[in-house]
A and B are shown apart, each in its own frame.
Chain A
C-alpha cells in the first residue's frame, strides 16, 4: 500500500531531514516544522516520488525549497525564536565559535551545499541536482565555503579541513 510505503520512508527520513534542517536554520522548532512541511509535500506527491530514482534526494530538494520560502517570508513575518529571558544559561562555557556557528554565517545556498555535501554525504552531482546549480558551482562554492569556515574558526582549526583543500 502506498501509504505504508510512505510511512516507512518518512520514518526513515524524518530524523536526518530534521537534522539537516537544523544545521541550516539552527532552530529545532523551525526544523521540525520544515521537516513536517517537507514530508507533507512528499506525501502529497507520493505516487510520483515513490517512482523517483532517489526519493530521499527529492525530499531534500523539497526541504531546501521550504527553507528558502521560509527565509523569503522572514522579513515580513514573525520568525520563530526561542530565547526566553529567564531560562538560564543555554550555552555555558563554550564561547569560542563552533563549526555550527560558522556555517550559520554562510549564505543559505552555500550553507545548503555544505550541509548536503559534508553532513548528508551526497555526491557533487546529487547536491547540484538538489540545489539546482551546476556541479562546477557546487565544487567551487564548497571550496569557498570551507575557506570561509577556516577563516572564521581560526588557524587552530585549519587542519580540520586540510583534506578539503584539493
Chain B
C-alpha cells in the first residue's frame, strides 16, 4: 500500500498544484447561495401548498353552502381546477449571482466577521461606458475557443500564449465561457482570465456600468473589471499578478493590463452568449486542442 501511495506522490510531484487562493472563502460564498436557493425552493413549495389550501378553501366555501353533506373529494375537485396555484411560487434564481470572480465580491458586501484572515475583496462601481451596437450577421453560441479568439483580437499588441478553458463554479454560470491566457507585451508574460456570465432576473446594474473588484490577497483574481452589458450579460476580465500553470507551479508576474485597458476589452459589444460565427469558427481551428465544441 505504501508503495502505491509513494508512487502516486512521486507522480503528483510532477504536477505542482496551483495555490488554493481563496477557495475556502469562495466555497462559503457558493454554500450560502446553495442555502438561499434551498430556502427559496422550500418557501416555493410551502407557498404552493398554501395556495393549494387557499384554492381548496375557496372551492370548499361555495360548495359548503347548502351542501354540508357533500364535502367529499369529488365535490372539491369539481370546483376551480384552473386556479393559479403556482403563481405564488417565487423563482429560485438569484439576482445576486455573478461571474466566477465577482460572486465572492458581491457577497463580501455583507458584513461577515469570518472573513478575518481570509482574502478580502472590495467591489465598487468605477464608472460607466457606452456599449456599442450588438453585432449582426450569423451568430453562434459562444465557445471557449471563440471567446479566446475574440479576446486575443481585442487585447493590445503582444504575444499571447498559455490558452486554457476553465470551468466556472457550480452556482456561477456553469458551462459559461471562462478562459485564460498569457499576454507578453515585452516585459514578460502576465495572466488574464475572462468570464462571461448571464444574470438571471433583472435588477442588476444598468448596462454600461463598470465595476472594479480588488482582491489584494489573491494573485489570480487580483483585479477584476466587470462590465455590465445589455440582457444581463456580465463580462469580467481578471488581471493576475502571477502565472498559474499546472506542471509549472506559480510564479509572480506583472499585471499586463491597466484597468482602463481591461474596461475597453470587456466593454466590446461583441461579447455575449453568442458571438459572430467568424470568431467561433476561427477559434475552433486556432485552439483545436483546447476543448471540445459546446455542441
- A residues bordering B, Cβ < 8 Å? 1, 3-4, 6-7, 10-11, 14-15, 18-19, 22-23, 26-30, 32-33, 35-44, 46, 66, 73, 76-87, 90-91, 94, 98-101, 103, 114, 117-119, 121, 146, 160-161, 163-164
Query: Given A39-B24, A76-B295, A160-B3, are A85 and B289 neighbors across the interface (CB < 8 Å)?
Result: yes
> With A and B bound together, what is the CA distance between A80 and B247 in angstroms?
16
Task: Return chain A residues, CB-CB under 8 Å to B246.
Answer: 27-29, 82
**Chain A residue with the shortest CB-CB distance to B189:** A87
Minimum Cβ distance to chain B for residue A78 (Å): 5
Query: Given A76-B295, A82-B164, A99-B8, are A15 and B1 neighbors across the interface (CB < 8 Å)?
Result: no
Contact of B20 among A18, A86, A118 (CB under 8 A): A18
Among A4, A36, A121: residue with most chain B CB under 10 A: A36
Q: Flag if B31 contacts A43 (CB, 8 Å).
A: yes
B101 interfacial contact with A, CB 8 Å = no
> With A and B bound together, what is the CA distance between A19 and B15 in angstroms?
10
Task: Return chain B residues, CB-CB under 8 Å to A15.
Answer: 17, 20
**Chain B residue with the shortest CB-CB distance to A117:** B1
Q: Flag if B23 contacts A14 (CB, 8 Å).
A: yes
User: In chain B, residues 94-152, which have Cβ atoms closer than 8 Å to a Cβ of chain A?
Assistant: 114, 118, 143-144
Task: Return chain B residues, CB-CB under 8 Å to A43.
Answer: 27-28, 30-32, 34
- Which secondary structure dominates chain A's binding surface? helix
Q: Flag if B28 contacts A6 (CB, 8 Å).
A: yes
Contact of A7 among B24, B35, B167 (CB under 8 A): B24
Q: Flag if B164 contacts A84 (CB, 8 Å).
A: yes
Task: Return chain B residues, CB-CB under 8 Å to A161.
Answer: 3-4
**Chain A residue with the shortest CB-CB distance to B293:** A78
Minimum Cβ distance to chain A for residue B1 (Å): 6
Q: Flag if B163 contacts A164 (CB, 8 Å).
A: no
- B residues bordering A, Cβ < 8 Å? 1, 3-5, 7-8, 11-12, 14-15, 17-18, 20, 23-24, 26-35, 38, 114, 118, 143-144, 161-171, 175, 180, 182, 245-247, 287-295
Q: Flag if B167 contacts A33 (CB, 8 Å).
A: yes
**Chain A residue with the shortest CB-CB distance to B163:** A84
> With A and B bound together, what is the CA distance between A163 and B17 in angstroms?
30
Task: Return chain B residues, CB-CB under 8 Å to A78.
Answer: 143-144, 165, 175, 291-294
Minimum Cβ distance to chain B for residue A33 (Å): 5
> With A and B bound together, what is the CA distance between A94 and B247 in angstroms?
13
Q: Flag if B11 contacts A100 (CB, 8 Å).
A: yes
Q: Flag if A85 contacts B5 (CB, 8 Å).
A: no
> With A and B bound together, what is the CA distance between A121 and B175 in angstroms?
34
> With A and B bound together, what is the CA distance between A114 and B15 in angstroms?
19
30 interchain pairs, CB-CB under 8 A: A3-B114, A6-B28, A7-B118, A10-B27, A11-B24, A14-B24, A15-B17, A23-B12, A28-B18, A29-B164, A32-B18, A35-B23, A37-B169, A40-B170, A41-B31, A43-B32, A76-B295, A81-B289, A83-B289, A84-B161, A84-B163, A84-B289, A85-B289, A87-B161, A87-B182, A91-B247, A94-B14, A100-B14, A118-B4, A161-B4
Q: Flag if B162 contacts A84 (CB, 8 Å).
A: yes
Task: Return chain B residues, CB-CB under 8 Å to A90.
Answer: 247
Minimum Cβ distance to chain B for residue A24 (Å): 11
Query: Given A19-B12, A84-B290, are A40 and B23 neighbors across the interface (CB < 8 Å)?
Result: no
Minimum Cβ distance to chain B for residue A75 (Å): 9
Among B7, B35, B292: residue with most chain A CB under 10 A: B7
Task: Return chain A residues, CB-CB under 8 Å to B292.
Answer: 78-79, 81
Task: Return chain B residues, CB-CB under 8 Å to A83.
Answer: 289-290
Minimum Cβ distance to chain A for residue B51 (Å): 27
> With A and B bound together, what is the CA distance between A160 and B161 in angstroms?
39
**Chain B residue with the shortest CB-CB distance to A99:** B7
A6-B28, A7-B114, A81-B164 given. 7 additional CB < 8 A pairs?
Answer: A3-B28, A3-B114, A41-B31, A78-B144, A98-B14, A100-B14, A161-B3
